[in-house]
Structure formats: structure tokens, C-alpha cells
Structure 1
């Protein structure tokens, strides 16, 4: 590996945080029928990069992190195809919206997991990841994305001209 693990980890985390922040802005755009073309490209690119770089960390056997990475890349593949390959025509519009929100959720899910593992005060509250505080935090994240995702599917209506 060209980069040391500390630098590589920092790049991976930075990509993830950029993906989450730009993804939240894209989600706002979905809720207001604003395509946010530049932010969408940034969100999708950094989220793909986050998932891909996640496979370069050392691991032994199949782990939940690998499963999330594989699922994320599959979702992102459909999302990118819907947005750029099929220009949101017909059912591809809702496939894009659901895929974008699902990819953002998975990135946020991992952020919560990593926060409880790495931030001492959170780790003390949930050292095994099965404690109520961890479950509640993940539940709040899930409910947030389910609600906003459902709203976005209904609200994101565009004409093709607004995409170019």
C-alpha cells in the first residue's frame, strides 16, 4: 500500500464525511425537487470511493463491513445507472431516489458504528454495540432515512431539461 494506514484511514474517513454531508444536501434537493447536479456527482463519487477504499483495510474472512460495502456498491450501481444512464425516465426516477437515500443511509449507519467504536464517551455507553444507546441511535438514523426517503420519492419530480 502506497499510503500508510493512518493516512489511508484519514482519506477514507474524509471521503465518507464528504459523502454524508453532500448526500444530506442532495437529500434536501430530492425533497424540494432540485436535482443539485454538482452535489449529486460529488455525493455519488465520494460514496463510491468510500465503499471501494473500505475493501483495502485488512480483514480475515467475510465481515459485516464487507457486506455493507458490497451492498452499498450494488445500490450505487443501480443509482448511478438510473441517474446518468437512464436520465430518471419512468421508474428510474424512484429507483434513483431510493438508491441515493439507501446509499446515504448505509454510509450514515457505518458512521454511527464507527462513532461508537472510536469515540470514548460513546464506546463507554455501548462497548459491545448491542446496548440500548447504540440501538436507539441506529433506530433514529433508520427512521430518519425511511421517512425522508418516502417523502423524497413522492416529491422528486423533474423535467429532463433540469438535469443537464
Structure 2
């Protein structure tokens, strides 16, 4: 039992939380590209993404896994994004710091989504059963380039009032 749920129920909860965080993240990314702070959506994105990373540590494990490293990095990025957005109000250097940290945290969630999809979705697993095959690498590479370009565009465009 995890938080009063069976492992299967907790896994579904964690997955739903992750998907909601990713959806909110793309809304926030759109706001950044449109130079709109979207404070409500941003709060929901940061909260659900923090909870996604934090709940990952509640699964039973006996050793530190790559997913834990990703979650730790994501939580650090999210802490900096929170500080830049709320404590520093995106002033000065904190505006691009926020964009980079928030969007990298979103990218980490999307990275994990893709990795889990190739691992657990039969249609994708056929093409990359170990995660070391070209279809997996190409997919992750395309997504990484997309996020790099979105971060660059966000830094150029995001000038909230």
C-alpha cells in the first residue's frame, strides 16, 4: 500500500498526475511563447510536476535508479523555477532562468513519458525493446530539439508586463 492505495492504483494515480502536469506544462509553454505569465496555469503546472517527481520516490525500490536521478534534477529545476517566478517575479536574469528551468522540467517529464511508452506500449516496444535502438533515440532527439528551440524562442519572446 502506498498512500492508502494498492501499487496498481498508485501507479495509475502517478501516471494521471504526470499526464496532467505535462498538459499544464504545454499550456504554460504556449503562454511563454505568447508572452503571457498565465499565473493560474503556471501554479498548476509547477504543483503537478513537483508532485509527479516526488511521488516517484514512493514506489518500492532497492537502489537508486535513473528515474530517481531525473526526479532529483527535476525537483531542483522546479525549486529554481518557483523562486524565479514567485520570489523574484521574473525580474532581470530570473526571467530566462525561469524559462529554462520550467521548460527543462517539462522536458524531463516528456522524456520519461516517451521512455515509459517505448517500454510498456506494445506497438512502440517492438521498435525499441531495450531503449537503445534508433527509433527511441530519434524520438528523444526530435523532442529534445523541439524543447531547445522552444526555450530559445521563449527567451526571445517572453516579456510579461
TM-score, length-normalised on structure 1?
A: 0.95
In structure 2, C-alpha distance between the alignment counterparts of 1:102 and 1:78, rounded to whole Å: 11
Name which of 73, 76, 80 aligns with 2:75. 73
- Superposed, 1:13-162 pairs within 5 Å as 13-159=15-161
In structure 2, C-alpha distance between the alignment counterparts of 1:75 and 1:63, rounded to whole Å: 19
After TM superposition, give the deviation of residue 158 of structure 1 in Å: 1.6
In structure 2, C-alpha distance between the alignment counterparts of 1:149 and 1:59, rounded to whole Å: 34
Provide the secondary structure at the position in 1 that maps to 2:35.
coil
In structure 1, C-alpha distance between the alignment counterparts of 2:61 and 2:118, rounded to whole Å: 20
Partner of 1:162: none
TM-score, length-normalised on structure 2?
A: 0.97
Deviations 1:95-150 (A, max 9, x none): 11111110100000000000001100111110110000000110111011000111
Moved over 4 A (4+): none
* Gapped regions of structure 2 (runs ≥ 5): none
Deviations 1:23-57 (A, max 9, x none): 01110110110111111111110000000000011
Provide the secondary structure at the position in 1 that maps to 2:27.
helix
Determine if the alignment matches structure 1 residue 5 to structure 2 residue 7.
yes
